A and B are shown apart, each in its own frame.
Chain A
Amino acid sequence: MSDDLPKLSATQAAAAIERGELGADELFAFYRKRAQADASANGDGLNRFTWVAEDASTTPLQSGPGWSDSAGTPGAGSLAGVPLAVKDLFCTKGVPSQSGSRILEGYRPPYTASAVQAPTGVGATLLAKTNQDEFAMGSSTENSASGPTLNRWDRSRVPGGSSGGSAAAVAAGLAPWAIGTDTGGSIRQPAALCGIVGLKPTYGAVSRFGMIAFASSLDQAGPLTRDVTDAALMLRHMVGRDRCDATSLDYPHEIELPRAERLAGLRLGVPVELRAPDPDAAGGEAEAGAEIEPGVRESFERALQALGFEEGAARV
């Protein structure tokens, strides 16, 4: 099955493990080998990881009584042994958690962040900690004590940041999925630059307990995944009120996985500012449009067409 492993989404892998068609150990060993190879490539790697697990047993589970009772959503489906890459700034019990900084060298927290405990509590295994801008202050993952992370698609380019290690790892198939944090774009922007799905949940949806803070009133943890279904599945297990985070809230309903096979009937909104003006148009518009490379423009427009976007359908 080994050849097919990288093709499985996290959701598919979880289902395969539940059905007994895939061994969790096999899946973990596969990704660990890839992650370890990148981490030990002596400068030739893409530098996505700050730490890689020896085996699945390092997964930090419950930190102990009295701590966060956030442990995923019972009955919402198992994450059955699917390996997870976690941004360095999440505290993970006994595992280096330095937020990309040398200031915290040697810090091995005695507890695990709720946003990590939640998915690992329902079966996800901790694969690796991912590189980031120091204390999440950056948008390129160049400003890390571990050195810059490179973009899988073009090593001369940045993967975005600050959750660049998480985004680059998922894009390169070194981890089935990852979690990161977003204060002012730190999930969404690297996801875009690496060509994967990234989501910043509404503030308060996910517990911040155990996240080394950047800006407490804006920080949120969220998934970085290969597809929307994986993002929904991970988010389903991350959301909810945590008594260790006074700013967290009950999520009003269980997050559903996408079921529609076609997009017909969905209404798609695109901010007008994102529509690149035609470079052949006259005046200032053309000038602004000229700053966008033709390849990017074409790619964006193709994506809109693929989604069934109707030109000028409604302007609101």
Chain B
Amino acid sequence: MSEPENPAGGAGSGGTDAVAGGGPGTNGAGPRLEPVIGLEIHVQLATKTKMFCSCGLSFGEPPNTRTCPVCLGLPGSLPVANAQAIHFGLMIGMALGSELAPRSIFHRKNYFYPDLPKGYQISQYDEPLCLGGRLGEVRIHRVHLEEDAAKLTHVGESGRIHGSDASVVDFNRGGTPLAEIVTEPDIRTAEQASEWLKLLRTTLRALGVSDVNMEEGSLRCDANISLRPTGTDELGVKTELKNMNSFRFIERGIKAEVERQRAIIEGGGQVVQETLHFDPHSGAISSLRSKEEAHDYRYFPEPDLLPVAIDEGMLEAARLDMSELPAARAERFEQELGLTAESAQLLAFRSELGDYFEQALAAKADPPPPAQTLANWVGGDLVSRLGEGEDPADSKVEPGALAALVGLVSEKKISVGAGRQVLDKLVADGGSDPAAIVEAEGLAAIGGGDELAEIVAAALGANADAAERVRSGNAKAIGPIIGAVMRETKGRADGGEVTRLVHEQLGI
């Protein structure tokens, strides 16, 4: 078996600056304790149909309308593995640099719960699809495929099972394909966990294998947390923290659990291995159940499914579907386009921004916009004018129009302020020719000629106090003067040129 290429190589440079350093925050005496954190991520795969039957995936349909004898676990029904899910699993394994098992098998994981009609979940156990790997500075333990459980809704005030009036089951979600990604315990802080998860989400989104939406549950993360004396290799007793459905909750939940364990250990107690529930509203952590051991699940090979045998054709198909991954793209933006690391990551990790940026760059605007300036406009001015998380490709602003606009600004054909006004117009009305808007609105830059000098002189006259303070060395006092010029010119004047003229006319 050939080694799959690993487009995730060099991912360590991406998106992780924020987590470097930091270290565990200890505030008491005694031996310093460091958190040891590993993540288990469940990703709903964006296949057409469910993992083991031909029901379509559900996107908010009425409850129990996307079901069949297989995903309802009716007697006599049989599972058939979804080839597209296996394909996506291989792509994930390739992106994470995992070893792809030539042969993997499904197991039955037996447990009783109302969201699991068969009484077992079809999952993978000791022969998973992908083994090992790395993303950024975090090693991957394994990636395997399984089916999602049905959705339980607890009717009542708390929304949790305790104290609820009733619990109802929606089997639409049951059987949705999941990839479970398990990391090694390489994470040391809550912030690092959250930042790394963002990198993983961006990577999965770039692969196109999942919607990776935490709020909607297509990306779910549990954390295994333990503490140990700093500098040692031992592993302490761990707890598993569930129900953290946003990046903010992940940080808060892990922090809360680390502090809980720290208090226990520093108080001379011992942490108990258990599964914990984090309540984002109260910040409280409560015990769900004592942690099961693997043997509690009575795993055995699923006899209704054949082993998954990966052949060269499947590997080739997965390779062909791999797009450039975010970490590699950020590096390319830095190396080839000379973007700052911050800009490169912003555009690469929100792939829709990166796509838009590259389309604008390719639009052959005249004059051409410098890459960094264009990056600033895409990641700053444009994004701030769109809705939260909105894809600029869905806006009225054509990439070519933005490129032309940025070209005008960087050539000082119009001022930055005028450029922003043109962008407002483009966002509201669309259009492909910013120069026409500049003309129609009279936004062309007022050059350094007599016209601007006269306006500056008038502004100095109208703001004599401020002019005096600028003259006596108070640089900040120039604000009202520039403001007056900008009002008079409707923002068409270049700020640098105005400052120069003020200084010139004040003789400083």
Contact = CB atoms under 8 A, between A and B. Distances in A.
Given A109-B69, A243-B80, A246-B81, A91 B306 contact: no
Interface string A246-270: 1100000000000000000000000
A71 to B, nearest CB: 17
Contacts of A208: 78, 304
Interface string B44-85: 000000000010000000000000110000111111110000
A244 B78 CA distance: 7
A246 B76 contact: no
A97 B305 CA distance: 24
A199 interface: no
Given A66-B68, A246-B81, A113 B76 contact: yes
A212 B69 contact: no
A216 interface: yes
B80 A211 contact: no
A138 B376 CA distance: 76
Given A217-B303, A246-B306, A212 B76 contact: yes
A110 interface: yes
Contacts of B305: 246-247
A91 B69 CA distance: 11
B53 to A, nearest CB: 9
Contacts of A104: 75
A305 to B, nearest CB: 43
Nearest to A65: B54
B75 A246 contact: no
B309 to A, nearest CB: 12
Contacts of B79: 246
A99 interface: yes
Contacts of B306: 246-247
B304 A66 contact: no
Nearest to B79: A246
A254 to B, nearest CB: 25
A213 interface: yes
B289 to A, nearest CB: 28
Contacts of B303: 215-217, 247
A66 B67 CA distance: 12
A28 interface: no
A243 B303 CA distance: 16
A209 interface: yes
A139 B68 CA distance: 33
A168 B107 CA distance: 39
A285 to B, nearest CB: 41
Contacts of B77: 111, 209-210
Given A216-B303, A244-B80, A111 B75 contact: no
Contacts of A38: none
B81 A209 contact: no
Contacts, number: 56
A179 B306 CA distance: 26
Contacts of A99: 75
A89 B75 CA distance: 9
A107 interface: yes
Interface residues of A, number: 26
A245 interface: yes
Contacts of A89: 76
Contacts of A113: 76
Contacts of B69: 91, 109-111
A211 B76 contact: yes
Interface in A47-70: 66
Nearest to B74: A109
Contact of A246 (B54, B68, B304): B304
Nearest to B301: A217
Interface in B265-312: 303-306
A262 B79 CA distance: 46
Contacts of A66: 54, 68
Interface in A185-218: 208-213, 215-217
A107 B68 contact: no
Interface in B78-96: 78-81
A97 B81 CA distance: 26
B93 to A, nearest CB: 22
A290 to B, nearest CB: 42
B75 A97 contact: yes
* Residue with the highest number of chain A CB atoms closer than 10 Å, among B54, B69, B76, B303: B76
Contacts of A109: 69, 74-76
Contact of B78 (A107, A209, A217): A209
A66 B54 CA distance: 7
Interface in A87-108: 89-91, 97, 99, 104, 107
Given A110-B69, A216-B304, A217-B303, A245 B76 contact: no
A244 B54 CA distance: 10
A99 B76 CA distance: 10
Contacts of A243: 80
Contacts of A211: 76
Given A107-B75, A110-B69, 6 more contacts: A212-B75, A246-B79, A246-B80, A246-B305, A246-B306, A247-B305
14 contacts: A66-B54, A99-B75, A109-B76, A208-B78, A209-B77, A216-B303, A244-B80, A245-B80, A246-B78, A246-B79, A246-B81, A246-B305, A246-B306, A247-B303
Interface of A: 66, 89-91, 97, 99, 104, 107, 109-111, 113, 208-213, 215-217, 243-247
9 closest A-B pairs by CB? A216-B303, A91-B76, A217-B303, A210-B76, A212-B75, A212-B76, A246-B80, A209-B78, A66-B54
